[in-house]
């Protein structure tokens, strides 16, 4: 009795050697013999593989028997897109984004930003620098006295600096960070710095900031004069002296 047709039929459906042995009732060596012969058939005949649909985009792809259980996507990009939708990987991506943002912030701290932080430390009682207290996100300078989170945004927040640099990605992170700052009960205060090291510019922005905190200290958050940035992320560079 020959098992050739039955073995090939089951093999084409994706059955393993052991499964075929149980169904057909032949020896494992017999299954191996006919299945090994099937692997030598050409692609057009469809003897050494089957067509499956990509789990992400649904496109039909031809898969060899040996990869039926592991091949689920038509491309690496589809695999990554599908994986990143899973809750586990969403959280890992969020953590990775936080680490990347933190590393970039430390590497790109300008002399202007450092000088501004030093002036704040000398002026206010409790000042934190680059502390990730907003659900993992940080602010460049945090004035605990008034619950203000200062974001010193250099030109890489607005202009493409290197080939791999994505302005859109940076700005998306800024939006997330500002939302987390607000959720924590702090006021985001953005300083836009597009130039090089300039102590005069830093002093000018610091004086604006002091005027803003003086208004808060006096128990008022009135911005009707337009002289101070409101606690909603308005850039101080747009305010008047």
Q: Are both 33 and 128 inside the same structural domain?
A: no
Q: Are both 100 and 190 inside the same structural domain?
A: yes
Give the pLDDT band (50/70/90) at residue 109: low
Q: Are both 101 and 170 inside the same structural domain?
A: yes
CA-nearest of 66, 138, 50 to 98 is 138
Instruction: Answer yes or no: is 102 within a domain.
Output: yes
Q: Are both 229 and 140 inside the same structural domain?
A: yes
Confidence (pTM): 0.50
CA-nearest of 35, 43, 27, 41 to 7 is 35
Domain region containing 100: 96-238
Q: Are both 110 and 224 inside the same structural domain?
A: yes
In this structure, the number of other CB atoms found within 10 A of the CB of residue 129 comes to 17
How many residues appear in the chain?
241
Report in angstroms the alpha-carbon separations of 75 from 47, 67, 83, 239.
23, 14, 13, 51
Q: Are both 129 and 222 inside the same structural domain?
A: yes
Q: Are both 198 and 103 inside the same structural domain?
A: yes
In this structure, the number of other CB atoms found within 10 A of the CB of residue 228 comes to 24
pLDDT in tens, 24-68: 888 877 777 777 644 444 444 355 677 778 887 777 677 777 777
CATH of the domain at 201: 3.40.960
Q: Is the pLDDT of residue 238 over 60?
A: no
Q: Are both 115 and 214 inside the same structural domain?
A: yes
Q: How far apart are CA 140 and CA 125, in angstroms?
A: 17
Give me the mean pLDDT over the 138-163 stretch. Answer: 90
Instruction: Answer yes or no: is 139 within a domain.
Output: yes
Element (H, E) at 191: strand 187-192
Instruction: Answer yes or no: is 170 within a domain.
Output: yes
Point out the least confidently predicted range of 102-106, 133-137, 193-197, 210-214: 102-106
Query: The tokens of 150 are what?
Result: 């200062």
Total count of domains within the chain: 2
Per-residue confidence (pLDDT) for residue 104, from 0 to 100: 53
Residue 66 or residue 104, greater confidence: 66
Instruction: Answer yes or no: is 169 within a domain.
Output: yes
Q: How far apart are CA 29 and CA 150, in angstroms?
A: 73
Q: How far apart are CA 180 and CA 56, in angstroms?
A: 32
Max avg pLDDT among 79-93, 102-116, 120-134, 160-174: 120-134
Instruction: Answer yes or no: is 185 within a domain.
Output: yes
């Amino acid at each position: 009795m020959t098992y050739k047709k039955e073995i090939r039929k089951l093999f084409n459906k994706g059955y393993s050697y052991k499964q075929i042995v149980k169904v057909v009732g032949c020896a494992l060596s017999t299954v191996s013999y006919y299945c090994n012969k099937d692997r030598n058939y050409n692609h057009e005949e469809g003897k050494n593989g089957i067509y499956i649909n990509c789990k992400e985009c649904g496109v039909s792809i031809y898969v060899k028997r040996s990869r039926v259980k592991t091949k689920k996507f038509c491309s690496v990009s589809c695999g990554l897109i599908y994986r990143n939708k899973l809750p586990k990987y969403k959280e890992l991506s969020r953590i990775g984004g936080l680490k990347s943002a933190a590393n970039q912030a430390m590497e790109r701290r300008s002399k202007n930003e450092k000088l501004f932080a030093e002036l704040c430390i000398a002026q206010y009682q409790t000042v934190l620098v680059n502390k990730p207290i907003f659900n993992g996100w940080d602010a460049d300078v945090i004035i605990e006295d008034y619950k203000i989170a200062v974001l010193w945004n250099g030109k890489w927040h607005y202009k493409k600096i290197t080939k791999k640099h994505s302005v859109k990605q940076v700005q998306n992170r800024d939006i997330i960070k500002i939302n987390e700052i607000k959720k924590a009960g702090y006021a985001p205060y953005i300083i836009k710095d597009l130039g090089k090291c300039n102590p005069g510019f830093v002093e000018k922005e610091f004086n604006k900031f002091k005027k803003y905190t003086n208004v808060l200290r006096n128990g008022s958050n009135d911005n009707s004069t337009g002289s101070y940035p409101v606690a909603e992320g308005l850039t101080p560079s747009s305010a008047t002296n």
